[in-house]
Amino acid sequence: MRPPAKPPSQNRAVARPQPVRSLVVNRQAKPQTNAQGRAENNARPPAYAVQAPIHLAQSQQIRATLGGTQHVAGSVDISSAGGGKIYISNLRVDQQHRRQGVAARLIDAAIATARRQGFRSATLEARPSDNGISPQALVAMYRRHGFKSVGKTGRGSPLMERRW
């Protein structure tokens, strides 16, 4: 006995998918956005190197460069404030390198440099220089690095200090 005949739509041979040969090389996934609306990329973040301080006229500058290149991703200035204190100023991180730990590495390097040079504390003014970070987020970042609010500056920004 023969099996019942299939309807005409099922008599066609099933085409097997052929492997796709793509001409696209190193196609990157579309970045996803996080809860804050910022683009996230699951690729490995670039490596940053913190350079030795560069001595300027009245201060020293510490720079973070992009993995083995001379491209500066961020920098921070330190200067003597007298009485065993160092003043940290002009912390900058290029917009494209933010939220990758560059500022944290620069702050750590500034503190380590101050300690090596015999300073006993560091002060700074927590004042954002652009709209890329809120004053509250900036103060929170400094607190995570051991700074405490000790007053206000003449501009009304928080004055912060860390002792060791």
Residue pLDDT, tens place only, 132-157: 888 999 999 999 999 999 999 999 99
Give domain status of residue 140, yes or no.
yes
Residue ranges of the chain whose pLDDT lies below 70: 1-43, 45
What pLDDT was estimated at residue 41? 57
What pTM does this model have? 0.71
Structurally, how many domains does the chain consist of?
1
Give domain status of residue 94, yes or no.
yes
Give domain status of residue 7, yes or no.
no
Give domain status of residue 19, yes or no.
no
Contact 105, 48 (CB under 8 A): yes
d(CA 119, CA 111): 9
Give domain status of residue 120, yes or no.
yes
What pLDDT was estimated at residue 79? 98
In this structure, what CATH number is given to the domain that contains residue 53? 3.40.630.30
Q: Which domain holds residue 64?
A: 46-163
What pLDDT was estimated at residue 29? 40
Give domain status of residue 136, yes or no.
yes
Percent of the chain that is helix, strand, coil (3-state, to 5): 20, 30, 50
Instruction: Tell me the pLDDT tens digit for each residue of 90-105.
Output: 999 999 999 999 999 9
Contact 141, 153 (CB under 8 A): no
Give domain status of residue 27, yes or no.
no
Give domain status of residue 87, yes or no.
yes
**Helix and strand tally (H, E) in the chain?**
2, 10
